[in-house]
Amino acid sequence: MRIGFIGLGLMGSRMATNLLRRAGYDLVVYNRTRAKAEPVLDLGAIWADSPAQLARQVDLIFTMLAHPEAVKQMALGEEGFLDALPPGAIWADCSTVNPSFSREMASQARERGIRFLDSPVAGTVGPATEGKLLFLVGGGPEDVETCRPLLEVMGRKIVHVGGHGQGTGLKMVFNLLLGEAMLAFSEALVLGRALGLSRDTLLDLLLGSAVVAPFLNGKRQRMVEEEYAAEFPLKWMRKDLHLASLTGYEEGIALPAVNVAKEVFALAAGDGLGDEDFSAIYQFMADKAGLDQSQAKASYGRDE
Amino acid sequence: MRIGFIGLGLMGSRMATNLLRRAGYDLVVYNRTRAKAEPVLDLGAIWADSPAQLARQVDLIFTMLAHPEAVKQMALGEEGFLDALPPGAIWADCSTVNPSFSREMASQARERGIRFLDSPVAGTVGPATEGKLLFLVGGGPEDVETCRPLLEVMGRKIVHVGGHGQGTGLKMVFNLLLGEAMLAFSEALVLGRALGLSRDTLLDLLLGSAVVAPFLNGKRQRMVEEEYAAEFPLKWMRKDLHLASLTGYEEGIALPAVNVAKEVFALAAGDGLGDEDFSAIYQFMADKAGLDQSQAKASYGRDE
Amino acid sequence: MRIGFIGLGLMGSRMATNLLRRAGYDLVVYNRTRAKAEPVLDLGAIWADSPAQLARQVDLIFTMLAHPEAVKQMALGEEGFLDALPPGAIWADCSTVNPSFSREMASQARERGIRFLDSPVAGTVGPATEGKLLFLVGGGPEDVETCRPLLEVMGRKIVHVGGHGQGTGLKMVFNLLLGEAMLAFSEALVLGRALGLSRDTLLDLLLGSAVVAPFLNGKRQRMVEEEYAAEFPLKWMRKDLHLASLTGYEEGIALPAVNVAKEVFALAAGDGLGDEDFSAIYQFMADKAGLDQSQAKASYGRDE
Amino acid sequence: MRIGFIGLGLMGSRMATNLLRRAGYDLVVYNRTRAKAEPVLDLGAIWADSPAQLARQVDLIFTMLAHPEAVKQMALGEEGFLDALPPGAIWADCSTVNPSFSREMASQARERGIRFLDSPVAGTVGPATEGKLLFLVGGGPEDVETCRPLLEVMGRKIVHVGGHGQGTGLKMVFNLLLGEAMLAFSEALVLGRALGLSRDTLLDLLLGSAVVAPFLNGKRQRMVEEEYAAEFPLKWMRKDLHLASLTGYEEGIALPAVNVAKEVFALAAGDGLGDEDFSAIYQFMADKAGLDQSQAKASYGRDE
């Protein structure tokens, strides 16, 4: 079996590397900018000059792209791969996109005799490197089984969530929880600091308690050092909250907290924080509150 | 030492019971409605006919009341206790109020030679019954030490957070995190269900994961059974989010997510859910989304 | 010149009627449900069995449809009109859609040698009947001039706003102002009533003042009678706020008030108000506030 | 009759000037900073060294102060005026405060045999100078009649709204409409500009239309010149939205749009815009959208 991989960014390059090293299959790759493909080419991957050219050589194609528009362009744009795949091939889209888009891609694939899975991942660069991602998969049971051995090369756990769009649906649910928790925690810290509690006291008391999500421990260092190296860029969090908002509209449901979080992240992006880690929303709230390191008030005796 | 206790509701009655049983001090009690005091009177507590009458008999007074207005009424209203306490007495207010109110009470107490602590509790009826509350205390170190043995009768941990208003400040921070997490989780569940995932699948996958706060496990049963016996009533969550919003205004900081959560809880109260547990916000969101038990969609094959 | 008209709903049927009566051209019509076409067929319009069949008979086609998905289906779906129009024909889309969709349609049209205008209308059923709509047009100047005589048959004013997507862009701007003003006014009325002011006093003092948009006068009767016959259904307002939110995302700008209004309308739709006039958002807010006719408090002497 | 006036800021100084010039009564004045009183002292007003000293000399006292805390300090603080006024005197509070505060002041006054009116004004510096303010008055009919001649010296219209707190209630309703309309208009402009429409085109088309409140015409120059000389400072708009939010809480009603607007103004204040006119919220939104003068896109041909 020959495998194709399109999208060799931060995540995709690591996933492709694991396929190369640990699966023992030939891997044909394509990326919009070729330079980003060099590391996997050095490891033995084969370059294709277009998505279509790649598709003609493979039975299974993985995509790991930034947003629905990018997926659509690769699949259905000029020299797109969907018309070039051999009938019966499988396309597993690992991108974080909205469920209705996944269902549309499933439908486009089916019309061409291609099998489709939406198989987005939970986990960041670290787990991607170690092959320990969590795959949330939507699609037919047989297709999931066909892909499982390959997914297991890249991930520690494969959850077959349901039909098409339910893998990306669950991913969206995870991400809105991340975004809202990060914003709520930021507001909590800023309020506490404004009341004279030190940031460290607050972090000590809140992190590890039952009222905050455990992933926030992993953001502590960034908030303390006020350096927000991007594990998950703020602009993609904005995108994911947008996709959740869009899905809420499509499904006819109200999501007020999602929508407000979306707009607060949008304001932060407007302040130039889009490429920082999404935990930089704390910095945005702290800046607007006029808080900085030097202004940390003594934690005792405020009113004496 | 004789101790007074005002406010014998769900929480206060259990706290007073522990003082009676485990501290071995005389306990004088007062409550707006005397009937609620009967259980502790049966255990040997002494009834006072007014806050002032109570105050004349004690050296230390605990209050556990519903909101700032109630505290103010007991302390400074007609027959209030603050003018009747002997100089040098201590008042520990365990109510969940806003920090500026605590500072105002500290100031009113100081003018009368009374020592003040804000000592709100984290924990619900269960821990209150077992004497395992967490006390978050604001005030002078000596006053905290004076009260510590009694607080330890009611709680498992006493955190001296800082000066006046910092105990209630930290409590407010905890509660806004609870409220926002509950709302975010509700929106996540509703969105997932609208996409055809079953409630149980969602609960299984999300609870216990790194993206949700651990306390949410304790709400699972209510959401599954759609019965919201109040551990912490939705109307008090609305109040606490209001107090956080108010404090944000006083401190000159923006708290957009807090304010939106506040209004969503207000809308839910407007639908008659104020006396339910605050996890009933899930029911509110599900109702507006047109979801109910029977409409739970099959989790597989939506688009086939 | 033969003209086609697709979409004979509340607005479209009136616009088509004016074209028939006042323009003196042959008019070929299509509608998803044929029954709605009967009135214009009685006036002499010619029925086509599909969008494509209609397109083969005309040089200029108007569409007046509910949302982007409906437009796309008619233009590019099975038996869609875009492939069937003769080269050089003009398509004027009067639907309220989002600007990026208009640009996409312009692009699809151009590929087929078809000229495109986005020409949404401001105005409701009354002006549509009287041929007094306001057209906000995006597209090339020559194409606008070609259509102008026909637009003038349906409207009192034709504003050539700019290039493709700028007609629908301006329409979206108008509609978000309508939606937010209606919500703000509803909150203002509810707050005033809660404070004991009568609804009539508030309406008398606010309507006509400099602080409210004049269109609100036209909603007075509905609010007074609590009957919300749809001039512009709440569900379409929700849609338009969604399209504005979507456009804000695409353009990289934050629109917090738009997004919150969108979600409040979504909650109101969840209470079954989607088919009512969008001024029913007042009813939603009043219901949640526990206000009804009988509870209107006396406007004098509340605190005496 | 001798009249007192406390609070000689932007508005108060002009109101006092009219009383001096046009009413022919003796006017005793007090202000926290004496320097601001000099202009009216030059015109013949008599200085009092404290609110209490002023109160001992007058039968009627006007207050025009920035917020409830300032009013409370002057009335009930050290050397406050309320205990010093002769029984039967009238206190008319022209400050913009919340209704429950007005009712509390009415109650404090009544206990001391003082009659109270809440009589906030609609109108800015211009109308204040010309004696053309609109007074919105809450209180007993006889007291209103007693004050009417003096109010007419300062205002063009006196509306007796109802009982205590209903004058300030109606004022709050006006101000929330101002704030929300300004924010909605700003979002509309920013969205339109992002779509390539010029600011001037948008202002020409929107101002004067039925979808925007007429007062917005008065903000055009500021938005065009991007200079926001304060007619009504943004920080006071934030305060008024806060008071509306507070009142919504007290009255048990939800005001989601008010609360979000409040927080957007708070974020803008955090960017240093608090002392600018509240129309500077447009600048805040435009800045976050990355729009500036030079980036105004051509209004035609975007997609060609």
* Residue B65 and residue B41 in contact, taking contact as beta carbons nearer than 8 Å: no
Whole-Å CA distances, A4 to A1, A31, A45, A46, B13: 10, 11, 10, 9, 67
- What integer pLDDT is reported at residue A25 of this predicted model? 82
Classify each residue of D254-277 as buried b or exposed e, where b means 16 or more C-beta atoms within 10 Å of its C-beta.
bbbbbbbbbbbbbbbbbeebbebb
Asked if A266 lies within 8 A of C253 by C-beta distance, the reply is: yes
Average pLDDT on A83-111 reads: 97
pLDDT value of position D24: 79
CB pairs under 8 A between C and D: 243
Please answer yes or no on whether B256 and D260 come within 8 Å at the CB atom.
Answer: yes
CB-based contact D147:D92 (threshold 8 Å): yes
Return d(Cα D250, Cα C71) in angstroms, integer.
Answer: 48
pLDDT in tens, A273-292: 999 999 999 999 999 999 86
Can you give the pLDDT at residue B295? Answer: 40
Q: How far apart are CA C124 and CA C248, in angstroms?
A: 26
Give burial (CB, 10 Å; 0-12/13-18/19+) of B221: exposed
Mean pLDDT of A152-159: 96
Strand partners for C30: C6
A-to-B residue pairs, Cβ atoms closer than 8 angstroms: 243
D81 pLDDT above the threshold of 80: yes
The number of angstroms, rounded, from the C-alpha of D139 to the middle of its chain's C-alpha atoms is 19
Chain C contacts of A67, Cβ < 8 Å?
none
Q: Where are the beta strands (DSSP E) in chain B?
A: 2-6, 26-30, 46-47, 60-63, 90-93, 115-118, 121-122, 133-138, 155-162
Residues of chain A with C-beta less than 8 angstroms from the C-beta of C259: 245, 259-260, 262-263
Q: pTM for the full model? A: 0.93
Q: What is the longest distance spanned by two Cα atoms in chain D?
A: 78
Flag whether pLDDT at D25 surpasses 90: no
Residue B133: the pLDDT is: 96
Q: How far is C206 from chain B (nearest CA, A)?
A: 25
Among C246, C252, C259, the residue with its CB nearest the CB of A260 is C259
Instruction: Count each helix (H run) and each strand (E run) in chain C, helices first.
Output: 13, 9
Phi, then psi, of A97 in degrees rounded to 5: -130, 180
pLDDT tens, position by position, D104-142: 999 999 999 999 999 999 988 889 999 999 999 999 999
Catalytic positions of D, written as ranges? 171
Whole-angstrom distance, CA of residue A265 vs CA of residue A261: 6
Task: Please answer whether residues D168 and C135 qualify as being in contact, where contact means their C-beta atoms are separated by less than 8 angstroms.
Answer: no
Task: Please compute the mean of the pLDDT values over residues A235-258 and round it to a whole number.
Answer: 97
Find the residue in B nearest to A241 (Cα).
Answer: B188
Is it the case that residue A297 has pLDDT exceeding 70?
no
Mutate to test the interface with B, among A98, A124, A177, A240 (most CBs of B within 10 A): A177
How does residue A294 score in pLDDT terms, banded at 50, 70 and 90?
Answer: very low
Distance CA C94, CA C21 (A): 19
Q: Would the ipTM clear 0.90, i.e. be above it?
A: yes
Q: Which of C159, C206, C254 sits opposite D288 (nearest CB)?
A: C254
CB contact under 8 A, A271 and D290: no
B267 contacts on D by Cβ (under 8 Å): 254, 256
User: pLDDT tens digit string along A54-74?
Assistant: 999 999 999 999 999 999 999
Closest by alpha carbon to C183, among A41, D261, B70, D190? Answer: D261
Contact B270 C256 (CB under 8 A): no
Cα separation values, B52 from A89, B47, B73, C192, Å:
83, 12, 12, 39
Confidence of residue C295 (pLDDT cuts 50, 70, 90): very low
Alpha-helical runs (H) found in chain A = 10-23, 38-42, 51-55, 68-76, 99-111, 125-130, 141-154, 166-194, 199-206, 220-225, 234-251, 256-268, 281-288
Per-residue pLDDT, averaged over A123-140, amounts to 94
Selected catalytic residue, list A132, A157, A171, A262:
A171
Beta-bridged to residue A152, according to DSSP, are none
- Residue D298 pLDDT more than 50? no
Give residue C283's pLDDT: 97
Q: Nearest-CA distance from C304 to chain A in Å?
A: 38
Identify the bridge partners of residue D222 per DSSP, sorted by sequence position: none
Q: What's CA C67's distance to the chain center, in Å?
A: 10
Residue A302 pLDDT more than 60? no
pLDDT at D292: 66
Q: pLDDT over 90 for what percent of chain D?
A: 91
| Spatial CA neighbour of D296 closest among D177, D198, D190, D170 | D198
How far apart are the C-alpha atoms of C179 and C258, rounded to whole Å?
8
Out of C248, C256, C263, the one facing A255 most closely (by C-beta) is: C263
Whether C289 and B267 lie within 8 Å, measured CB to CB: no
**CA–CA gap between residue A130 and residue D288 (Å, rounded):** 39
Strand partners, B61: B4, B91
**pLDDT beyond 60 at D224:** yes
State pLDDT tens for residues C44-80. Answer: 999 999 999 999 999 999 999 999 999 999 999 999 9
Task: Give per-residue pLDDT as tens, B130-178.
Answer: 999 999 999 999 999 999 999 999 999 999 999 999 999 999 999 999 9
pLDDT for D124: 85
Mean pLDDT of D216-222: 97
How many CB atoms neighbour CB C16 within 10 A?
Answer: 27
- Decide if D287 and A270 are in contact by the 8 Å CB cutoff: yes
Kind plus residue range of the DSSP H or E element containing C267: helix C256-268
In chain C, the residue whose alpha carbon lies closest to the alpha carbon of D199 is C170
Question: Is the pLDDT confidence value at D253 over 70?
Answer: yes
Residue D299 has pLDDT above 60, yes or no: no
Residue stretches of chain B with pLDDT short of 70: 292-304
Model pLDDT for residues A17-43, shown as the tens digit of each residue = 999 998 778 899 999 999 999 999 999
Instruction: List A281's β-bridge partners, or say none.
Output: none
pLDDT class of A303 with cuts at 50, 70, 90: very low
Which of A66, A22, A17, A58 is closest to A38 using CA atoms? A17
Q: Which of D159, D173, D178 sits opposite C192 (nearest CB)?
A: D173
Name the E strands within chain D.
Answer: 2-6, 26-30, 46-47, 60-63, 90-93, 115-118, 121-122, 133-138, 155-162
Residues in chain B: 304
A157 noted as active-site residue: no
Strand partners, C47: C29
